[in-house]
Structure 1
Amino acid sequence: MADLKRKVRIEERIKIKIGEAKNLQCRSHGSVEQRDVYCALSLDQEEIFRTTTVERTLSPFFGEEFQFEVPRKFRYLSLYLYDRDRHLKQDKVLGKVAIKREDLHLYHNKEHWFPIRAVDADSEVQGKAHIEVKFEPVLKGNNELDHHNNRMTVRLLECSDLTIKNGSCDPFAIVTMCYSNSRQEIRRTKVKKKTVSPHFDELLSFEVSTPTL
């Protein structure tokens, strides 16, 4: 009788307690107006949990604990602080704390104060893109090279580790050619459904004359 291969399934769990924040900025410079603050806990940029809102304070105490199985691979465990806006539909993000996955063990069973970092568009970008770019003269009708007119070709092969938003990712890419006369041309790939590692392999070409680059 053949030996049965034994397999072990390993599940990872994260337990985190969100304590408090201190010395948040007022809503406007020179104002004493306080904030209504809550926290959103995310793996990369996918929200997992959200605290209750602590009203009218610049030093909110949460004291909430969350425990969950890790559903997938991730790079950062992030905590975003928001100011709830009663009038506008979109709450204002005040800042974030981000911890690399490989650094989580450093804070195991420890309380720690983290600096709150600013959130900007560049800091929220995630993933990699595999791109090839070619710039070459265009052939004339007599098969001679036209050195005054050129073709810029961007080949987007694939991307990996893109951000999940609202539980899904339907990526596409936009390539923009900017000319010296402020004119722009835009090319767009097809949409790839439900993947964080899309395979495009698309060619996006631009016809350009040398003086306009």
Structure 2
Amino acid sequence: MADADNITVKIIKARNVGGIFKSSQKDQLRIYCKVCLVPGKQQKQHTNDVTGTQDPVFKEAFLFKGLSKANLEKCKIRIRVYNKCSRLKRDEFLGEASFSLLNLPDNEMFKLWCDLTPKSGIENLGSLTVSLCLEKTAGILTVNVIKGKDLPRNLLTGAPDPYVKVLVVQESRAVLMKKTKVKRKTTCPVFKEVFTFHISTSQEDIQHTSVEFTVYDRTRIWSVELKNIRISLRSFFKFSARNEASISGKDMSRGAPKY
């Protein structure tokens, strides 16, 4: 509701967040929302986590102060929903919704449902070519990180020093991680590095197994994430006859969705 130069936004609840999960996976969900004014990500705030449900109830109010008439005309409220993950993984982006501040009733409650949509406005971050091979009898997943193409340049330091971190995630098992060597000053790195992972190949476990690729720029002091994508083994081996994929950077956004 609008009150002079202030707007109070109350996030009440959500329904069926994240799509299809196994019942055991639902127990591990930690859903929360980030809310801010856009453009500019102004006055960023967030809810508390709600655990163990795809229908979280938040009932939390957020005050946005000092909004001029110009702000009301050009700004929107944006709400992004995330699942909080372990320390090894970036929080999983589940969807976003936004609405205009124009024509809000003064000093009255205005309630609405918003459909969640994928993240918008993602820049072209290049591509990464990988191949996967699953030996079901031996329980071995072979991942070949082949090459990257057209990775983004830094405005100050130029071409990145890229490397790729590979995570294999299976329910009720430890996350497996390996990474490539760093390639110096190139936007089109050739890795050609092969990694093997011992995994469960039962039909039930494969249905809920994913491989996550994250490309980093290794700077002098720390690593900066360039892109991230997660591949479901169920989808990959169903639709890729050659078991090889070229992954577009447009899909390798932060918190990429499941497939």
TM-score by length of structure 2 reads: 0.39
TM normalised by structure 1 equals 0.46
